[in-house]
Structure 1
Amino acid sequence: MDRSMELEVEDRLKELRITAMRSVSKKAAANNLKSFNKIRMGLEASWMREKTEFIEEHNKVLSLLRTNLPRTSSSGPVLTGHKQKKALAYAEVVKKLNHARLNALRFNPATAFRDSYTSLSVRESTGKISIREIWDLVRMLAGEDIIHHSRKHRSISNEMSLVLGAKRYLEWRHVKYIMSRISEDPVLAALGGEVVNLKQIRAFLRVHLKDYGVLDFDAGHDACSPPPVDTTWQQIYFCMRAGYYDEARTVASSSNASQEFAPLVKSFHMPII
């Protein structure tokens, strides 16, 4: 093979690598958008039901509080039904919120509403977006899941704060999906010891790709064995979907096929510190 043909082959391989990089990035972005739209429609329907239910039951609670009903304790009137209990629990959060505002105290209302709802141990319908998930979304959109707000984070616009919150929520839900898949076959997943991010992704891939053969990160050094399945791009893709950008860069840097992609991962990461 002369030099011109070698250069042509190298150029072609470079084009293929660039195409693969773009494909992984576009697929991750497209799947996130599709997932977000699906979640959004479910959340909107669930939220409208919850809003209507809350207003109706809150009015009932106010009527009960205005009457002289027998009391079983000093905490208030006897209420029956989880809807009325939920409305009363939400009303308590509103009282705390108003108190915090009057006294200029820090208060995370979405977190408080979520914890109040969780404390009621309401049975959720399977296959539907739960009200707890709605409060988790609101909590992240409001930035309440960030323990320490740095000066850089406080200086960003409200629109960007919402985008970052939505991004964290999608990543959080994808991690939940990964852990759910791992729990389907924990023996095959072999997720033991300290659960670090990359080990979690690889445990997931053992279940997700169980019909494909031995995976590269599980393969030994036996020259007689068939070549293992190369999971480089799968690891990068699922790391990015879960928000594990450092791990995605580590995987990309460890393979000749994806080394050029490693510095590009950083451009998809929007830091919130």
Structure 2
Amino acid sequence: MKLTVDQLSTTIEQKSIIDQITMFVESGQFVGIIGPNGSGKSTLLKTIYRILRPNAGLVSLNNEDILKFSHKEFARSMAVVAQEGSAPFDFTVEEIVLMGRSPHKRFFERDTLEDAYFTRTALVKVGLEGYSDRSFSTLSGGEKQRVLIARALVQKASFLILDEPTNHLDIHHQLHILDIIRKLGVSTLAAIHDLNLAAAYCDVIYVINEGEIVKHGTPSEVVTRSMLKEIFKVDCTVTTHPITGKLQISYVSEGMYKGSTLSQTPDTTVG
């Protein structure tokens, strides 16, 4: 499923948060959004998945305006894992994951054996086998995040929106979850805080700063020392991992390299 964002602008409390953003996610692509805190990443995603309404521009799935989808049609097309991991009531893990099946059911329709199978399979995939009867409210932040990812998996949508999907996860589960998402082969748009993960998993990266897209392209085109210094205000070296061939960023501060020759290194160094 293809996503097109055309000249999208969103204003909150009379303040422009994102301004004339244009971007694309081709069918099957994993596209990342990176940018400093407060740059507009979450606002952009919330506008795309219809929590916020734009004051200008258009978002379309397979060339159809998303605002014309019914709620169920939209939920069958797009699954969302947002940053907020709370639940208004105390549900079990199984109940939370089963909520992902609601777009495929009629009003008051009971859960089926197929729903139960999808739920068990998703919990196994995210490493939470045996958690079905646990109270969602008693879980750690990382466990809650994995439950919400399992809920998105059982939704069986053709497009995934992920807002900081590895938030609260340890490094093992960060890599495990992103491996799962890549293997799904569905179109994915994700705001990613960890730039090394973005460089390793994304086909295309968009850099957002102060509500505008300032750069986009493949990880090697976008993740450079000069970009990180300009946008993120940090110095670093960008090398190529000897095993994976992916970009690897090593951050430094003045105190770490004072008196060295780091300033003479190029944007990307093959290592």
User: Which structure is richer in relative contact order (CA contacts within 8 A, separation 6 or more)?
Assistant: 2
TM-score normalised to structure 2 length: 0.31
Q: Which has the higher strand share?
A: 2
Greater Rg over alpha carbons, structure: 1
